[in-house]
Amino acid sequence: MAYTVPAIEELVQALRQLPGVGPRSARRMAYALLERKRPAMGELAAALRRADETVSHCQRCNNLSDAPICGLCQSSRRDPRLLCVVETPADVAAIEATGTYDGFYFVLMGHLSPLDGIGPEALGIDRFEALLDQGFEEVILATNPTVEGEATAHFLADLVRMHGLRASRIAHGVPVGGELEYVDRGTLSSALSGRRAIED
Amino acid sequence: MAYTVPAIEELVQALRQLPGVGPRSARRMAYALLERKRPAMGELAAALRRADETVSHCQRCNNLSDAPICGLCQSSRRDPRLLCVVETPADVAAIEATGTYDGFYFVLMGHLSPLDGIGPEALGIDRFEALLDQGFEEVILATNPTVEGEATAHFLADLVRMHGLRASRIAHGVPVGGELEYVDRGTLSSALSGRRAIED
Ligand SMILES: [Zn+2]
Ligand SMILES: [Zn+2]
């Protein structure tokens, strides 16, 4: 019977829960930490606990936040005319990193997917509609340029226009079929500045 | 100025300390944990703390252990005639996973590297020599098949023979220039069973 140390095997199993980490790289990570990176172990443990305890979703925009209403929603330095709708918090981070956009956000936490039973209610569309009456002029639909993301954008564009606001879609420039989170900053910048109005 | 949540940025930085994890995959991991894998955060934090607190080096074989003398060194079911020398604890894990070897180990924690100032004392050779007088008959030198690993094996083979024991080297079958830790089990099994005596 092979000799193993339970605490090491548990660490390997826990590391495997990270996305993109298979059994071999989990083991390699565990040994690298134990042999050469002891301080990183406590730092990572503390960062995990702190993030788990302090981060939840903003009650207004749905983005990840360390307060009930996030710092961005509370900011007086953002453009109050612009609302940008994205699928995930990672998309907010990607757009913020471009430095191109200074309006507000709404995070859907997904996209419409009727086959998976994900309809408008699952995406918090009622809270999105409530936002639409808070003085915005234009809603930028920045869902992913995938089939589901485009369908979601069209559905939301109808809602936006029903509330008397302009709807726009980020320009293609974002590669079709790709995911916003992985697009380089320059491409994402031009996609934002090249956005076009959605006509019915 | 881009909007960020400090607890998330700290988590991204901490994840970057894992080997092979760059800024993009660290961010992807952080968001995946926060959005979809909350239980994994506490589990990973606990596993990191537990491993950091309980795992150190066995005082006899140098392998990672949760006791002063590891369970393998204390086992009465291993073959007392065989001692296998490897460079790292990960190599012990790789050999144990083959199920081919049932003797004892000594972990060098590296290889001879005169240019980097790593001589015999840095590898704990005095403790290795003390082991040589504890009744073993054969010492299998399973350092990596690299230039430094081969030089280390030759140096150790001389020591082993000076103590009147047989020295053997794992068979080539392990790809030359490769690292033991990444070799598949079958190759590693045949390298072990095809080991040959080292003649002077
Ligand atoms: Zn918010
Ligand atoms: Zn031991």
Calpha distance A51→A159 (Å, rounded): 35
Show the tokens assigned to B73. Answer: 């060194």
Instruction: Report the number of distinct structural domains present in chain B.
Output: 2
Same domain for B30 and B61, yes or no, is no
Q: Residue range A82-89: average pLDDT?
A: 94
Q: Are residues A89 and A146 in the same domain?
A: yes
Per this entry, what is the length of chain B?
Answer: 200
> Which member of A35, A38, A42 has the closest CB to residue B89?
A35
Question: Under 8 Å CB-to-CB from A147, ≥6 apart: which residues?
Answer: none
DSSP3 helix / strand / coil % (chain A, rounded to 5): 50, 15, 40
pLDDT of residue A193: 75
The whole-angstrom distance between B157's CA and the closest CA on chain A is 26
- Per-residue pLDDT at B1: 53
- Round to whole Å and give the CA distance between A89 and B47: 27
Which comes out higher in pLDDT, residue B12 or A175? B12
CATH classification at residue A36: 1.10.8.420
**Does residue B1 form part of some domain?**
no
Domain assignment present for A164: yes
Task: Give me the residue from B11, B25, B64 closest to A8, CB to CB.
Answer: B64
Q: Are residues B24 and B107 in the same domain?
A: no
B35/A65 touch (CB, cutoff 8 Å), yes or no: no
- pLDDT at residue A147 tops 60: yes
Please state, for a pLDDT cut of 90, what percent of chain A lies above it.
62
Judge: B41–A27 Cβ closer than 8 Å, yes or no: no
Q: Are residues B50 and B61 in the same domain?
A: no
Contact B182 A4 (CB under 8 A): no
Residue B115 shares a structural domain with residue B173: yes
Cα R_g (chain B), whole angstroms: 21
Read off the DSSP letter of residue A170. Answer: P
Assigned domain for A154 exists: yes
What was the pLDDT predicted at A113?
86
Residue B89: nearest ligand to its CA?
2
In A153-172, which positions are buried (b, 16+ CB within 10 angstroms) versus exposed (e)? Answer: bbbbbebbeeeebebbbbee
* Domain assignment present for B61: yes
Containing structural domain, residue A181: 57-197
Q: How sure is the predictor about B195, in pLDDT bands with cuts at 50, 70 and 90?
A: confident
Distance from CA of A164 to the nearest CA of B (A): 29
Q: Which amino acid is at B107?
A: V
How much distance in Å is there from the Cα of A70 to the middle of ligand 1? 4
The answer to whether position B122 is within a domain reads: yes
Q: Is residue A37 part of a domain?
A: yes
CA dihedral B121, B125, B127, B131 (to 10 degrees): -170
Tokens of B114: 């005169």
pLDDT in tens, B169-193: 887 666 667 777 777 777 777 677 7
pLDDT(A1) > 60: no
Average pLDDT over residues B105-112: 89
Contact assignment for B64 to A88 by CB distance below 8 Å:
no
Is residue B108 domain-shared with residue B182, that is, in the same domain? yes
pLDDT, averaged across chain B:
89
User: How large is the angle between the packed helices B147-162 and B125-132, nearest 10 degrees?
Assistant: 40
Query: From the CA of A105, which ligand is nearest?
Result: 1
pLDDT tens by residue, A37-66:
999 999 999 999 999 999 999 999 999 999
**Pairing mode, if any, of strands A104-107 and B166-169?**
unpaired
Q: Do B130 and B185 lie in a common domain?
A: yes
Within this chain, do residues A63 and A111 fall inside the same structural domain, yes or no? yes
Q: Are residues B20 and B78 in the same domain?
A: no
Of B91, B106, B98, B107, the closest CA to residue B192 belongs to: B98
Confidence of residue A2 (pLDDT cuts 50, 70, 90): low
Taking residues B34-62, what's their average pLDDT? 95
- The alpha carbon torsion through A71, A170, A81, A59 (nearest 10 deg) reads -40
Minimum-distance CB partner of B5 among A25, A47, A65: A65
Q: What is the rounded average pLDDT of the residues B155-176?
A: 86
Q: How many angstroms separate the CA of residue B168 from the nearest CA in chain A?
A: 22
Look at A117-121, A140-144, A175-179, B69-73 and tell me which has the smallest mean pLDDT.
A175-179
Q: Work out the pLDDT band at B104, boundaries 50, 70, 90.
A: very high
pLDDT value of residue A179: 76
Contact residues, chain A, for B24 at CB < 8 Å:
182
The answer on A98 and A169 residing in a single domain is: yes
- Residue B163: pLDDT band (50, 70, 90) is very high
Same domain for A78 and A10:
no
Mean pLDDT over B102-124 rounds to 87
Show the DSSP H helices in chain A as ranges: 6-15, 23-36, 38-54, 71-74, 89-98, 125-132, 147-162, 185-193
Convert the pLDDT of each residue in B124-157 to its tens digit.
888 999 999 999 999 999 998 888 888 999 999 9
Please state, in angstroms and rounded to a whole number, the distance separating the CA atoms of residues B127 and B107. Answer: 11
Question: Average pLDDT of B35-62?
Answer: 95
Percentage of chain B beyond pLDDT 70 is: 94
Q: Please list every residue in chain B whose beta carbon sits closer than 8 Å to the beta carbon of residue A50.
A: 7, 10-11
DSSP designation for B84 = E
Q: What is the pLDDT of residue B51?
A: 97
Q: Which residue would you say has higher pLDDT here, A113 or B162?
A: B162
Q: Above pLDDT 70, what percent of chain A?
A: 94
Which residue of chain A is at minimal alpha-carbon distance from B37?
A17
Given an 8 Å threshold on Cβ–Cβ distance, is A33 in contact with B46? no
pTM: 0.80
- Biggest alpha carbon–alpha carbon distance for chain B: 71
Instruction: Write down which residue in B14, B38, B54 finishes a domain.
Output: B54
Residues A48 and A71 placed together within one structural domain of the fold: no
A1, part of any domain: no
Rg (CA), chain A: 21
For residue B16, the one-letter residue type is: R
Q: What are phi and psi of A139, to 5 degrees?
A: -115, 115
Contact between A14 and B47 (Cβ < 8 Å): yes
Could you say which ligand is closest to the alpha carbon of residue A75?
1
Q: Can you tell me whether residue B122 is helix, strand or coil?
A: helix
Query: For A23-45, how does the pLDDT look when each residue is reduced to its tens digit (9 = 90+)?
Result: 999 999 999 999 989 999 999 99
Mean pLDDT to the nearest integer, A159-170: 92
Biggest distance spanned by C-alpha atoms of chain A: 71
Instruction: Indicate which CATH number applies to the domain containing A145.
Output: 3.40.1360.10
Instruction: Give the model's pLDDT for residue A110.
Output: 82
Per-residue pLDDT, B22: 94
Instruction: Please state, in angstroms and rounded to a whole number, the distance separating the CA atoms of residues A192 and B20.
Output: 32
B195 in Cβ contact with B139 (< 8 Å): no
Q: What pLDDT score does B191 carry?
A: 74
The C-alpha atoms of residue A176 and residue A162 are separated, in whole angstroms, by 28
Q: Which of A27-31, A169-173, B69-73, B136-140 has the lowest mean pLDDT?
A: A169-173
User: Does the CB of A74 have a partner CB in chain B at under 8 Å?
Assistant: no
In a domain, B166, yes or no: yes
A14 → closest Cβ in B44, B93, B96:
B44
Q: What local confidence, expressed as pLDDT, does residue B197 receive?
A: 72
- At which of B54, B70, B88 does a domain end? B54
Residue among B84, B95, B89, B61 nearest B174 (CA)? B95
